[in-house]
Amino acid sequence: MNTSILASWKRRSQRRGAFFSRDSQILRGKMSSFMSYDRDESSLFDDDDEDQERDSLLDADVGRELLIYMIDASPEMFLPFKNEVEDGEEETYFNAVVKAVTKDMKTRIISRDRDEVAICFFNTRVKKNFQESEGVFVFQASDQANQDELCQPTARLIKDFSNISETFDKDIGSKAGVTPGSRENPLYNALWIAQGLLRKGSVKNSSKRILLFTNVDYPFSDADPAFKKDMRRTTVQRARDAQDLGIVIDCFPLSKQDKGFDIGTFYADMVDMSEEEKENFMAIASDRFESMVSQMQKRLFKKRTVRRLTLTVPQGMKLALQSFALFRPATPGTTAWVDSFDNKLLKSERSFLCSDTGALLSEPLQRFQEYKSEKVCFSLNEVAEVRKITETQLQLLGFKPLECLQEYHNLRPSTFLYPDEERITGSTSAFVALYRAMLCYKKYGVAFLGSNCRMVALVAQAEVSNEIGQVEPPGIHMIYLPYSDDIRHIEKMHGSVENTMPQASNEQIEKATAMIKKLDLKDFTYANYSNPALQRHYAILEAVALKEDDFELADPKDDTLPPEEQMQKLAIAQLVKAFKDSVYGPDHDLEEQELATLKAKGSATAQKRKAAEEMAGNDYDKYDWNELADKGKLKDLTISDLKIYLLKHKLQVTGKKDILINRILTQMGKSKEVRIRLKRG
C-alpha cells in the first residue's frame, strides 16, 4: 500500500469536501432555520484533542480557527437593507453585517474558545493597520495590547464592536477606496494585511479563514480604465496567493435590492470557483448569512476524545480503529471558584485529616470497604489490579442477529468506530468486509471492551446522504451493553395474579392508529431540538459577561415544547377525542372530576394537616418573626409556636427545637440574601 497515493487522494477529496460541507447546514431536515452556520463548522475543524498530529482519513483534526472578518465599509454598504431574518426590518447593510459578526463572535467565545479573530474594515477614511496601508482599518478592543495580532474574542471586543455603528462615522469613516485617478486598492491592501495577521499558527493545526462581507460585486467599476485591468489582476493574484498558503476565503455577498449581486463579475475569480459552484453560490451564501444572524448559541464543542483502538478477532487478527465521540451530553462547561470581592481565581488545597485523631495525613494510600462489620483494606494497586482482566483492547466475541439487541440494552452514549489504515495497513479492507457482511446479514458484533470492562455491541451503520451531504457517516457504532447486574425486571412487577390484563379491542387500536397517523413528525431529527436549559445558561452568561443593560431574559424559544396549537386543531382534536372516548368512555372527564373532588377532601390525615395549616395561618401574625429572629428570642418560644412558622412556610415540622430554629433562620437568611443580590444585579 502506497501511502503517498493515499495522501494525495485524501487531500483531493478533502478539498472538495471542504467546500461543500461548509454549506451543508441544511443537512438534516428541511428546518434550516435551526441549522446554524457554525454547525457544520464543527464537522470540519474539530477535536483539538491531544491527537493533533493524527493524519487520518477524516477532515476533523484541525484544532482552532484563525479568522478575519473582512468587512466592506464603502458608502454602498450604508444603503438600506431589508433584513429578512429580523422580519424585514430596515437597516443598513453595514449594520446587518455588524450584527451577524457579533453573533458569530458570541457563538465562538462559548463554543470554540481557542479561536482567534480580527476585524478588518476596508474602504475606510481613516487607516489603522501595521502596514499603514490606505483605506484599511483593523478594529480592536479598547484594551487590546498587541496591534497586529489576532486575539481570542473577549467580552470587551464583542461589546465594543456591537456598538460600533454609533462611533463609526467619527472614528473610522466610510470612503470609496477605488476612485478614478487613484491607484489605491483597499481590497488588495486588506487582503495583504489579513494575510499578515494570519501568519501565526501553522496550517497543520489551525485553519485560517477570511470571511469577506460586501455588497459590491465589482469593486473596480470606478477605477481609472488604465489601471482597471491591472488592479483586478493583482487583487486576484493576492487572493490566490493567500489561498495557496492554506487560507480559505469565504465570500458573504449581500444582494442589493435593485440589481442583485453577480458573483461571476469578480469574486468567483478571486476564490477560484467552478461553474457548477457559481450557480448555486448565491442561494447558499444568503442562507448562510441568514443563519449566521438568526442563530442562537446552539452548540457547544467540548473537546471530544478521539482514541485509537485495536479490534482483535479470534485467532489473532488485529484491526486498527479510531473511535469518535459523536454523541456526548453537552454541559455548561467547567467552573472555577473566584473571590467574590475581586473576582480573582482561587486555588484549592486539599488536606486529609484522620477522623479519629484529627491528625493531618499525607494522601492516604489505602482504601477500605466495610464487610461483615469489619474493615477490609486494599492498596490502590490492588484496586487497580481487579479491573485488569485482559490486555486486549477490544475483543470480538461473536455475532448476533439485530433482533437480539433490545431497546433497553443501553448504558451510555455510543462511540463511533472507523478504520485506521495508517496504523495497520489492511485494516480498512477487513473492516469494510465485516461491515458489509453485518449490514447484509442484519447482524451485530458482540465484543469486550477491555478499558471499560464492558460488553459492547458493534452495530454497522450504512452511509446515509441526502442532496446536501452526509447524514449518517458509514462505520460501526459501539453501543455499551448492560450486565445482568444492571438490568431491572420491572415488566413483571405489576402483573395481575389471577386475571389477564385488559386488552385493547380492535376498534380501540384502529382509533389509535388514526390518531398516530395524524400526529406524525415526518422528518424528525434530534438536530431540530436544542437544549433549553443550556441555551438559558448561555443567555445568562452572556448577559452577565457583556453587562448588557437590557438584561432581558425573554425566554429563549424552547424547541422541545410540543406544538400545542397544532394539536388543538379540529382535525387532530377530533381524532384524539375519538381515541379518548373509545378507550376511556365518553364520560371520562366527568368521572375524573368526581374523583378529583373526592381526593380534594382527602384522607383523614390530610384533613388534619390542612386544619393545622389553617390554624397556623391564623396565629402566624401574632408574632413578629423577624424581630424574634434578630434578637435571638426564637428559643423562648415553644415547639408548637415554632411549628406555626414552619407550617406557614411549608417547611418540615419534625425535629428538636434547635433544629426547628435553625430551619427558620436558614429560611429567613436565604430569602434575605436573595433580595439583596437581586437588587444589586
Partner 1 sequence: MARNKETAVILLDVSPSMHPYLKHVARAASTLVQRKMIFSKYDEVGLVIFGVSEASNELYEELGGYEHVSVLRHIQVVDDDILKILDDLPEGSELGDYLDAIVVGMDMLIKKAGPGKKGNKHIFLITDGESFVKDSAEDETKEDQVDKLAVQLTEHGMKLDAVVMRTKRGPNKSKVRTENEFLLKRFAGRPQVEVAFVDSPTSLLGAIKPRNVTPVTLYRGDLELTPNMTMKVWVYKKVSEERLPTLKKYSDKAPRGVPHASHEVKMDIEYKSTEDPDKTVPPDQRTKAYRYGPQLVPISSVVEDALKLKTEKGVKLIGFTDTTNVSRHYYMKESNIFIPEPGNMKSIVAMSALARAMKELNKVAIVRCVWRQGQSGVVIGVLTPYIPMEENFPVGFYFNILPFMEDAREFPFTSLDTLPSNMQPSVSQQEAADNFVKLFDLAPKDHEERLLPERTLNPILQRWYCYLHNKHMNAGAEVPPLDDALRPVVEPDQELLTENEFIIKRFNNQFTLKVNEEKGKRSSQFWKEKELDENARGEEDSAMDDVSQISFDSLTARRVSEVGSIQPVQDFEAMLARRDSDEWVPKAIREMKKLIVDLLDSAYKGNTYDKSMACLTALRKGCVEQGEPSEFNCLLRDLGNKCCGKRHNDFWDLVLDRRLTLINKDEAPDSDVSEEEALAFLNREGPIKAAEEPVEEEEIDEMEALLGEAV
Nearer to partner 1, 89 or 581 (CB): 581
Nearest distance from C-beta of residue 118 to partner 1, angstroms: 15
DSSP string covering 571-617: HHHHHHHHHHHHHH-TTHHHHHHHHHHHHHH--HHHHHHHHHHHHHH
Nearer to partner 1, 442 or 608 (CB): 442
Nearest distance from C-beta of residue 178 to partner 1, angstroms: 23
594 lines the binding site for partner 1 (CB under 8 A): no
Q: Which of residues 531-560 bind partner 1 (CB under 8 A)?
A: 531-534, 536-537, 540-542, 544-545, 553, 558, 560
Interacting span for partner 1 (CB under 8 A) from 275-283, 285-293, 335-343, 647-655: 335-343
**Alpha-carbon distance 307 to 125, whole Å?**
52
Q: Which of residues 605-644 bind partner 1 (CB under 8 A)?
A: none
Nearest distance from C-beta of residue 676 to partner 1, angstroms: 9
**Grid cell in block for residue 403:** 433482533
**C-alpha radius of gyration, the chain, whole number:** 33
Among 317, 606, 639, 665, binds partner 1 (CB under 8 A): 317
End-to-end CA gap in the chain: 65
Dihedrals phi, psi of 371, to nearest 5 degrees: -145, 120
Among 145, 490, 570, 596, binds partner 1 (CB under 8 A): 490
Q: Phi-psi category of 281—alpha, beta or left, where left has phi over 0 and alpha has psi -120 to 50?
A: alpha
**Alpha-carbon distance 448 to 456, whole Å?**
6
Nearer to partner 1, 497 or 598 (CB): 497
Interacting span for partner 1 (CB under 8 A) from 56-64, 86-94, 276-284, 648-656: 56-64
Q: Which of residues 421-440 bind partner 1 (CB under 8 A)?
A: 421-430, 432-438, 440
Nearest distance from C-beta of residue 79 to partner 1, angstroms: 33
Nearer to partner 1, 540 or 659 (CB): 540
**Alpha-carbon distance 438 to 185, whole Å?**
60
Interacting span for partner 1 (CB under 8 A) from 121-129, 174-182, 284-292, 365-373: 365-373
Among 121, 261, 301, 645, binds partner 1 (CB under 8 A): 301
Nearest to 142 by CA among 164, 124, 123: 164
3-class state of residue 247 by DSSP: strand
Residues ≥6 apart with Cβ < 8 Å to 139: 118, 119, 120, 121, 161, 164, 172
Q: Which of residues 73-132 bind partner 1 (CB under 8 A)?
A: 109-110, 113-114
Among 260, 408, 630, 631, binds partner 1 (CB under 8 A): 408
Nearest distance from C-beta of residue 57 to partner 1, angstroms: 5
**Alpha-carbon distance 231 to 223, whole Å?**
9
Helices 186-197 and 225-244 cross at an angle (nearest 10°) of 20
Among 30, 82, 400, 635, binds partner 1 (CB under 8 A): 400
Among 147, 179, 366, 451, binds partner 1 (CB under 8 A): 366
Question: Each residue of 185-197: b (16+ CB within 10 Å) or e?
Answer: bbbbbbbbbbbeb
DSSP string covering 267-298: HHHHTT--HHHHHHHHHHHHHHHHHHHH----
Which residues share a beta bridge with 249? 210
Residues 250 and 272: beta-carbon distance below 8 Å:
no
39 lines the binding site for partner 1 (CB under 8 A): yes
Nearest to 578 by CA among 513, 521, 504: 513
Among 448, 616, 642, 653, binds partner 1 (CB under 8 A): 448
Binding mask 184-203 for partner 1 (x = CB under 8 A): -----------xx--xxxx-
60 lines the binding site for partner 1 (CB under 8 A): yes
Nearest distance from C-beta of residue 184 to partner 1, angstroms: 21
209 lines the binding site for partner 1 (CB under 8 A): no
**Alpha-carbon distance 85 to 82, whole Å?**
9
- Size, binding site for partner 1 by CB under 8 A: 259
497 lines the binding site for partner 1 (CB under 8 A): yes
Among 414, 628, 645, 660, binds partner 1 (CB under 8 A): 414
Among 142, 146, 274, 351, binds partner 1 (CB under 8 A): 351
Among 75, 80, 364, 632, binds partner 1 (CB under 8 A): 364
Among 147, 149, 280, 368, binds partner 1 (CB under 8 A): 368
494 lines the binding site for partner 1 (CB under 8 A): yes
650 lines the binding site for partner 1 (CB under 8 A): no
343 lines the binding site for partner 1 (CB under 8 A): yes
Whole-Å CA distances, 441 to 328, 417, 544, 579:
30, 20, 56, 40
Nearer to partner 1, 177 or 450 (CB): 450
